[in-house]
Structure 1
């Protein structure tokens, strides 16, 4: 996870609020003695801007808008298929790969999928149905079996999107993994996880800002605004604080207390009132912040394997060129424990994705129809600081650890963990 940074520890970067990263996985919290190299203006960022214009577009697309339109159609079809599969106790659904650079949605199924489900998907986007050896339900049972047998010898475990077996991340390998799981296991070595403002926000609090734990001195980043029982609350990472810990922004302004917390999903809610926007920034080629602004949140969307996403932590700033590699993972976070509902993603350029201080910060999908708007898709949990560390970017480029591989909690799993009913719209 991205762990909060105590004042006595090395600082972790945040944009406005400080986020925490962890693994073998490291947590992303940041030290509070740190001062951002490029401080954001006090109060609300006045302008809306595009943070992807300067990022190279993958897959031969002419623009990010073109790529994101294909991705959005894929995700719409994927959501229909996933929802239908979850309603059937005997579904052969195995997984989905929604990589727009392939130009078609890949649906993996054990047996024959319902014809109407496939027809509906193909009416939305080019779709291929491919055979799978195991259903997702069978693989989730196998993952539980392997976790019980292997314990903390594994860093991550979850079903492969193609239904061929389990994907397991370890630091040094795992002998006998297939025998313990009872299904084929793909073992990745050199995988770790550890915990990962902007700097002067005001209520209603926006995502991607820095916040500090007044009880411990640690710093993290705010996530998306969500509703809990009709009240607007601030989503962030559970490893950033405990129940009743007081939260402030870096200037000392109160943001309430930690009112709800779920370590199993690494999510918490701060009692301060949240808004429906998120901080972002444009970035120079060297990783410096060029200009800061905010963007409207228009809803929540699950990210699929192959999707392109961006992060917005208070220290690292907005980071894109990030692709989802796996989902539905359980991960073992150093000095924190097991967290499920996790998504693994990597910066495809092997530059910074998130770093210390970015814990709890937003993971977003840019709206294809209007690139000044974003969908909420997750909150930062942990970085692989052992095997994928890289130069930091953003508001604090020194004195902390950053990585190109990281893990985030799925927005729907994270909200369910703290009893949130939906994201706040801007």
Structure 2
């Protein structure tokens, strides 16, 4: 591995052209902390956001501890970092961490505990599936409240899948196998084809296809069309948009284009759920949220949404995080930033308010099924939970291109409350594994352009709210990637602790 100066600066980087995830020149920034202790050209500073920051340090014995610092203390952060171990920690690593309000209530924890066990059953069935157009798995529906898993299957169920089902039933999980007319592989291929042929990603006057999704029960696909009446029929849509004709059973619903959607001042190793911003030639070019720590080939990464833009990424206070790796999973809207990362995510309040920040340890990763409940932790909106998974296998084309195998969900609260909005893209989507651990499900990627589905933003106020940020809109409905597809596409694993 050679060391060479980076173009345009004197910092040293390490280069290894053999690594598949690095940039084309095979280079990655060496581990340095690049602090800019000056005001930033960002809306965060313009809004006068008061923040609570943390320095982290490794104590003797490798125990990671957290320290809360005020913005005033942050001004002397460069010096304070050298003496961080002398500060009084908020909580030792083996102390019970404080639970974040509204996200770890007993009912939600119990529900997700059951869901976690049902998910293991579904994982074993997934591993056992012989999936072709002719026979195989069609889909799942998880009903954690009833401790039930519905398995939809075309043709004869494989012996390995039957064995997994019998083992689950012996442990008290009710598993129901239901015949289906299509396999998931067949429906996925058709949804992808229709998206590639019909979705442009640009707003058009008149009827257009804006989304396509698998039905979880394997009975067909659902196509979302814009520019047509609320009572649109499949026949009407096919007449108006000839390209959506399909041999697969199709349901048409009115829809609108998905809208592409940080905490403020993290330090190395970086956590998921933190505020990140991209800069081009030193100029602010947009803000998003860090997702989850990943690893491959001896390198560590931080995942975020691909539509946030590739290049150099920084924290809100100017600390350099890293550059985008060469491989980007555009189809599942995920990119990797080459950096030091830790298997933890931020929880609790957003960068806007005075609610304290918490952290949760990542214990694993899992695919997502219809009927499950998840949470999201965006830097601008804070943590939101529970979110009911309404549909999997969703394809849509937003301003940043065609996305496939995505998940759509809605925050299940009365009255309705927003789950995420602009600036939360890339945020970790997860399920709870106890009160201090989480299972990564993916990264948040989009919201909705349907005004009737917009909700007042939580955390950083949005457009139309007092002191709101222009262009920021929020909704209880979100889209997110399924981490299992991203792991396969990029050859990574989620870091766990």
TM-score category, normalised to shorter length: 0.7 to 0.9
Q: Distance in 2 between matches of 1:328 and 1:225?
A: 24
Q: Distance in 2 between matches of 1:36 and 1:343?
A: 35
Unaligned runs of 5+ in 1: 1-29
Whether 1:232 aligns to 2:300 is yes
* Higher RCO structure, 1 or 2 (CA under 8 Å, sep 6+): 1
Find the counterpart in structure 2 of residue 95 from structure 1.
139
The aligned length equals 383
TM-score, length basis structure 2: 0.71
TM-score, length basis structure 1: 0.83
Could you tell me how far 1:83 is from its partner in structure 2?
Answer: 1.7
Find the counterpart in structure 2 of residue 266 from structure 1.
333
**Corresponding residue SS for 2:199:** helix
| Contact 2:375–2:384 (8 Å) recurs in 1 | yes
The superposition leaves residues 38-88 of structure 1 with CA deviations (integer Å, 9 ceiling, x where unpaired) of 52324355553323x63597xxxx722321221112111111111211567
Q: Which runs of 4+ in 1 moved over 6 A?
A: none
Find the counterpart in structure 2 of residue 292 from structure 1.
357
| Contact 1:385–1:402 (8 Å) recurs in 2 | no
- After superposition, residues 343-422 of structure 1 pair within 5 angstroms as 343-349=407-413, 350-367=416-433, 370-387=434-451, 388-396=453-461, 398-399=468-469, 400-420=472-492, 422=493
Find the counterpart in structure 1 of residue 78 from structure 2.
none
Find the counterpart in structure 1 of residue 212 from structure 2.
157
Unaligned runs of 5+ in 2: 1-41, 57-65, 68-90, 92-96, 201-207, 229-233, 463-467
**Corresponding residue SS for 2:356:** strand
Find the counterpart in structure 2 of residue 50 from structure 1.
99
- After superposition, residues 5-404 of structure 1 pair within 5 angstroms as 35=47, 37=49, 39-44=51-56, 46=67, 48-51=97-100, 54=102, 63-86=107-130, 90-114=134-158, 115-124=162-171, 125-152=173-200, 153-173=208-228, 175-176=237-238, 180-215=245-280, 216-242=284-310, 245-260=311-326, 261-281=328-348, 290-333=355-398, 335-349=399-413, 350-367=416-433, 370-387=434-451, 388-396=453-461, 398-399=468-469, 400-404=472-476
Q: Distance in 2 between matches of 1:168 and 1:99?
A: 25
| Contact 2:196–2:402 (8 Å) recurs in 1 | no
Q: Distance in 2 between matches of 1:148 and 1:248?
A: 34
Q: Which has the larger radius of gyration?
A: 2
CA 1:423/1:130 → structure 2, altered by over 3 Å: closer, same or farther? same
Q: What's the RMSD between the two structures over aligned residues?
A: 2.5
Could you tell me how far 1:103 is from its partner in structure 2?
Answer: 3.1
| Contact 1:325–1:344 (8 Å) recurs in 2 | yes
Find the counterpart in structure 1 of residue 9 from structure 2.
none
